Amino acid sequence: MGAGAGAGASGPVLGTLLVIALLAAALGYSRRTPLGPLHWMLLGIGLAPVSLMGVLVVAAGFFALAAKGQVRWERRGTAAYNFTQGTLLLLTLAAAAALTGGIEHGLLGYPDMQIAGNGSSGHLLKWYLDRSAEGLPEIQILSVSLWLYRLLMLGWAIWLALHVIRWSGWAWQQWSRPETWRKIGPLWRRRQSVNPGPTGG
């Protein structure tokens, strides 16, 4: 006989938290960025309800900036350097958009508990059991007020705003070192000197 659905939130949520914890430990202990394991853990928890891709974009932005400092740019050409700067700028803007989206969703949206299966969602639970004993199994749900989630996300947003100021300083130093952009003017003048135009006599 049938009863309501094979969907639940505890498994996927706990699995996601475990993955975030492992990634946070790996990223934090690399010491290539100013973020420690706790920072990465809190970032992951705050961004995961919006999109796990946002966590990857933010991580890619930080580590791309860190990797730039490991390259000896005096041996690289102007085009390669300016292309790298433009790519880092776009990646940084994407990371900033992911953080902004996380704050907006946390304060105004609804948490995504990653409920799936049998047509279930965060707003609808369908339970189904193909066989049952004499009595139907009891369903237990742990529910808290949405205002608790809002309060936690407000604390996360304040924490993020305070730390972004320090991280922005580090990001600017990485991006602008050894220079922001390389000018192509000297190359044009050098070509002009090699092929001078006719002069009047």
Q: Is the pTM of this model over 0.75?
A: no
Question: What secondary structure, in 3-state letters, does 82-105 show?
Answer: HHHHHHHHHHHHHHHHHHHHHHHH
Q: Is the pLDDT confidence value at 95 over 90? A: yes
Please, which pLDDT band fits residue 6 given cuts at 50, 70 and 90? very low
**Separation of alpha carbons 169 and 93, rounded Å:** 15
Q: Which two tokens stand for residue 102?
A: 């996380």
Rounded average pLDDT over 5-28:
73
* Domain ranges within the chain, ordered by starting residue: 10-123+144-179
102 and 50 in contact (C-beta within 8 Å)?
yes
Structure confidence by residue, pLDDT tens digits, 104-159: 888 887 776 667 777 777 677 777 766 667 777 777 777 778 888 889 999 999 99
pLDDT in tens, 71-92: 888 888 889 899 999 999 999 9
Q: How confident is the model at residue 188 (pLDDT cuts 50, 70, 90)?
A: very low
